């Protein structure tokens, strides 16, 4: 299982997030005509730490975007993401999943000028 598959599996069953968005968690971009609120995610960077014997551990910096038509709802979705991900340590994605340690790095408010949708971007550092 890839890290992205593990994240999707984990987030699509998280009770706090499911209550707000169901399973509307998408890689990279929203569908053409999305139902909001929803979440998108993408890998921003993925450096690998190595020693003389090879890879020690990988790290991915993942960006999540909480989308909604309202500012308050976008923040509720982002808060649910933070509750699910920040300081998570364990097996993500169930059997065959990925062992992860997750830390919130930053978040910020944004909006889409074409659609007027609100978006809260958050970035996490995930060691796996």
Report domain extents, the chain: 3-127
Cα-Cα-Cα-Cα torsion 127, 102, 1, 64, nearest 10 degrees, comes to -120
pLDDT computed for residue 53 by the predictor: 79
pLDDT computed for residue 56 by the predictor: 75
pLDDT computed for residue 99 by the predictor: 95
- Over residues 49-103, the pLDDT tens digits come to 777 777 677 899 999 999 999 999 999 999 999 999 999 999 999 999 999 999 9
Average pLDDT over the chain, rounded to whole? 94
pLDDT exceeding 90 applies to what percent of the chain?
87
For domain 3-127, give the CATH superfamily.
Phage tail protein-like (3.30.2000.10)
Whether the model pTM is above 0.85: yes
């Amino acid at each position: 299982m890839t890290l992205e598959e593990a994240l999707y599996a984990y987030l699509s069953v998280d009770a706090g997030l499911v209550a707000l968005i169901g399973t509307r968690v998408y890689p990279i971009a929203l569908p053409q005509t999305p139902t909001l609120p929803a979440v998108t995610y993408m890998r921003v960077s993925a450096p690998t730490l190595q020693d003389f014997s090879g890879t020690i551990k990988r790290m991915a910096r993942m960006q999540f975007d909480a989308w909604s038509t309202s500012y308050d709802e976008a923040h509720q979705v982002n808060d649910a993401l933070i509750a699910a991900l920040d300081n998570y340590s364990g097996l993500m994605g169930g059997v065959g999943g990925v062992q992860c340690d997750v830390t919130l790095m930053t978040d910020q408010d944004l909006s889409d000028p074409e659609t007027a949708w609100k978006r809260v971007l958050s970035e996490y550092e995930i060691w796996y």
